[in-house]
Amino acid sequence: MTTREELRKKGTAIREKLGFVGTSNIGTLAPGIEQLTEEMVFGSVWARPHLALEDRMLAVLAALMSQQRLPQLKRYISGAINIGVPARTIQEVFVHCALYNGFPAMLNALIVAKEAFEAAGVTVPDTEMPNLDAEALMALGVETMNKLHGDRAQKGYAAPDHPVTSQLYPTAIAYGYGDIWGRPDLDHRQRGICAVASFTAIDFLPQVAKFGQAAMNAGVTKQQVIETIIQTGPYTGFPRALNALVAFSEAVG
């Protein structure tokens, strides 16, 4: 069994890799908080195998954005920069999560990101966006939706003949799957990780189950979906993460 001292050593190594060195005063807030963070957050969670550091960062950014933990989000944007996550990829995490948390939440996160980029001297490159007409956008949305969800693509609120949800869902198909899922600088696999982390953070369990399977269709392994959910635990609550793990496990067996 790993000792607490070993966990602290692992945690220190991860924290320093993220660039969190001498920039936090949490040890002055309450006795033992710095050691607890070193052991539990970085040593017990971040240091787990099966999911790359960059993927874990995407999950944390999505979770913090989803709960609008903006001071902490700014710190982790800086951490993402320190481990080489491109600025445009960071932006796209927040654009993607707008689907699940709303455009005001996205704008708040993008403003924080802009401040973090400026503080780090990071220049965000321009990216040419696809410009499809309405018919092509809907066609791409249907194609992407079917690729991600398979036979689940038209069930429940996504059923095209649903008398109520069908008044909104075509917009989600066109602009969610057709536009946002198709934007550059964040691929489908990464978007799957962001979706799972976001739905875990806001405790939307049916969507955790649905998009956990979609993430697997996009190239995320079952264990990596599990690790994505676990990664959110220290940031948005262990009960949410545990509930999400149950929902996902019941969906995939």
Global pTM reads: 0.96
Strand stretches in the chain, DSSP E: none
For residues 172 and 98, membership in a common domain is answered with no
89 and 122 assigned to the same domain: yes
Q: How many domains does the chain have?
A: 3
63 by DSSP, 3-state: which? helix
Same domain, 104 and 160: no
Whether residue 59 contacts residue 193, with contact meaning beta carbons closer than 8 Å, is answered with yes
Same-domain status, 187 and 244 = yes
Q: Where does a domain end: 9, 32, 47?
A: 47
pLDDT of residue 23: 47
Cα dist. 225→95, 195, 210, 228 in Å?
21, 10, 12, 5
CATH number for the domain that contains residue 201: 1.20.1290.10
54 and 155 fall within a common domain: no
The DSSP output letter for 248 is: H
Distance separating alpha carbons of residues 154 and 59, to the nearest angstrom: 27
> In whole angstroms, what is the distance from residue 238 CA to residue 233 CA?
4
* Residue 21 sits in the same domain as residue 138: no
Report the chain (253 residues): mean pLDDT per 10 consecutive residues.
94 95 70 92 97 98 98 97 98 98 98 98 96 97 97 86 92 97 98 98 98 98 98 98 98 93
Domain range enclosing 231: 48-129+183-252
